[in-house]
Amino acid sequence: MAEVKQAKASSKSQSTQPESRSIKLRLHLPAKLRNLELALLVFACGINGVAVVLVQLGALGKVNPEIIWMGGGLAVLAIGLHLVLRLVAPQADPFILPLATLLNGIGIAEIYRLDLASGASGWQAFSIRQIAWTAIAIAVSIGVVLVVKNHRVLQRYRYLAMLVGIVLLLLPMLPVIGQEQFGARLWIKLGFFSFQPGEIAKIALAVFFAGYLVEARDSLALVGKRILGMQLPRVRDFGPILLIWVAAMAVLIVQRDLGTSLLYFGLFLVMLYVATGRVGWIVFGLLLFVGGAVLASQFFSYVGARFHGWLDAFNSDVYDAVGGSYQLVQGLFGLANGGLIGTGLGQGRPSIVPLAESDYIVASLGEELGLAGLFAIFALYLLFVSRGIRIGIAGQDDFGRLLGMGLSFVIALQIFIVVGGVTRLIPLTGLTTPFLAAGGSSLVANWIIVALLLRLSDTVRHQPRLVVTP
């Protein structure tokens, strides 16, 4: 009897041992993740501070502590978001916040360098406004993390998100508040305040696409007639696809913005492919968009001018024309001047290129940091996007998977469109480089994406998992 009792006690202790280990692991994992995030965040803020100092030494030959103190305030806000994550999302991904902070800080340093070249100061300086908008964006990001406690709640409001996205797209077309800048009608202006609503629209549309495709993916993948080897969906399932295509063409034709149009339609195509797994949708969607763009280039002069400036950029007539290829060619010259290792922060001449602080921030950084510096920045983007895709893949609910993939692809496609335009791979567009370029609307939207990915990653880690023990 004593041997039997001893055996039972031994088996009971062995069965409880793995459970106690798993409890300890769950307790220590959040602390480890947040400590890693804090270490990376401090490192990122340090790099940002060094970048500003190098800009001042290269352009002025001395250090001005004022801008450094302002950058320090942003570091405090970023650490504030970190503290919020410790309280409400302790298992959130530890890499996303440091990566976004580092990219944002590098952008501020280069914009400040361009302000030094132009002599702008005070509120007229793009860097001061960028710092202010970054503070607002991080504050909004904190609010999103606190309000959205579970991403599945967003699925209930998918059609409201579609309505909000379409309204935001249409707002710049209104006669009173709509404003045209640099040949594109993308802004609304209310008094002294101007905003680009399309930046927020991409998030609303990503939420709608994820919610809609969770419902309709089986119909889109399995139901419909087969024509020329490709299965087409029913008319009622095809309606939202045509609606998004019409919205993308409206942005292209009315708002005169090829990049935003491509971004919206590309986002939907990728999420459609992720939901259904059918490559035919990508081919069909690309043919649909390219066909619309080519027709627009034939019937609308401003679209044709973009294509002409892209295909024949070094023609002297195109180069000297109003709205021609001057900006594109000067950006290429700047990249060539930077070479492999760059001229050094504060020592190039990126201010020669028009809109160097926004549309051409990549060319500005390429001149002063060189090809090596650009590759390092692209590696940061690659890490950010890969973490977002990893969050989407790890999700156990379909809506979370699609939303994570969609938000990550928004960043990836935007980078491709911007860099492709600057390097003359595709026609030049007016999109901003995420986190780097000057622009409050873009900053707020991208930091909302950061908040949603953080909330998604925390939810994924909190999900119960089935563990099979022998």
**pLDDT tens sequence across 151-191:** 888 888 888 888 888 888 878 877 777 777 666 667 787 76
pLDDT of 300 reads 66
What pLDDT, on a 0 to 100 scale, did the predictor assign at position 169?
A: 81
Average pLDDT on 104-129 reads 88
> In this structure, are residues 196 and 442 in contact, taking their beta carbons and an 8 Å threshold?
yes
Q: How many residues does the chain have?
A: 470
pLDDT at 257 over 90: no
What's the CA gap between 231 and 226, in Å, rounded? Answer: 4
In the block, tokens 């500005």 appear at 364
Contacts within 8 Å (CB) and 24+ apart, 59-67? 59/113, 59/116, 59/117, 59/346, 59/347, 60/116, 60/346, 67/112, 67/127
Could you give the percent of the chain with pLDDT greater than 70? 81
Q: What is the pLDDT of residue 246?
A: 74
pLDDT at 42: 93
Helix (H, G, I), strand (E, B) or coil at 43: helix
**SS3 of 323, please?**
coil
Per-residue pLDDT for 99 more than 60? Answer: yes
More confident residue, 446 or 158: 446
Provide CB contacts within 8 A for 219, sequence distance 6+.
Answer: 233, 234, 237
Percent of the chain with pLDDT strictly greater than 90: 30
Supply the pLDDT for residue 19.
Answer: 46
- Beta bridge partners, 194, equal 189
Does 469 have pLDDT greater than 60? no
H or E element that contains 438: none
Residue 141 has pLDDT above 80, yes or no: yes
pLDDT at 292: 72
Highest-pLDDT range among 54-63, 221-230, 422-431: 54-63
Mean pLDDT of 247-274: 75
- Indicate the pLDDT class of residue 255, thresholds 50, 70 and 90: low
What pLDDT digit, counting tens, does each position of 203-253 carry?
998 898 888 888 777 666 666 566 555 566 666 666 666 777 677 667 766
Q: Which of 202-206, 211-215, 270-274, 458-462 has the lowest mean pLDDT?
A: 458-462
Say if residue 33's pLDDT is above 60.
yes
Q: Is the pLDDT of residue 75 over 90?
A: no
| pLDDT 10s digits, 352-376 | 988 888 888 999 999 999 999 999 9
CB 287 within 8 A of CB 404: no
Q: What is the mean pLDDT of residues 27-34?
A: 72
pLDDT-derived band at 82, boundaries 50, 70, 90: very high
Q: How many angstroms separate the CA atoms of 19 and 438, rounded?
A: 51
DSSP 8-state class, residue 432: P
Give the model's pLDDT for residue 4. Answer: 47
Of residues 329 and 277, more confidence is placed in 329
User: What pLDDT shows up at residue 241?
Assistant: 65
In the structure, what pLDDT confidence band is assigned to residue 415 with cuts at 50, 70 and 90? very high
Alpha-carbon distance of 414 to 388, in angstroms, equals: 15
* Between 30 and 463, residue with greater pLDDT: 30
What pLDDT is stored for residue 80 in this prediction? 93
What is the rounded average pLDDT for all residues in the chain? 81
pLDDT bin (cut points 50, 70, 90) of residue 21 is: very low
Q: What is the pLDDT of residue 332?
A: 92
CA distance 459 to 151: 8
Q: What is the DSSP letter of 6?
A: H
pLDDT reading at 136 higher than 90: yes
Which long-range contacts (C-beta less than 8 Å, at least 24 apart) are formed by 219-227?
Answer: 220/272, 220/275, 220/276, 220/278, 220/281, 221/275, 221/276, 221/277, 221/278
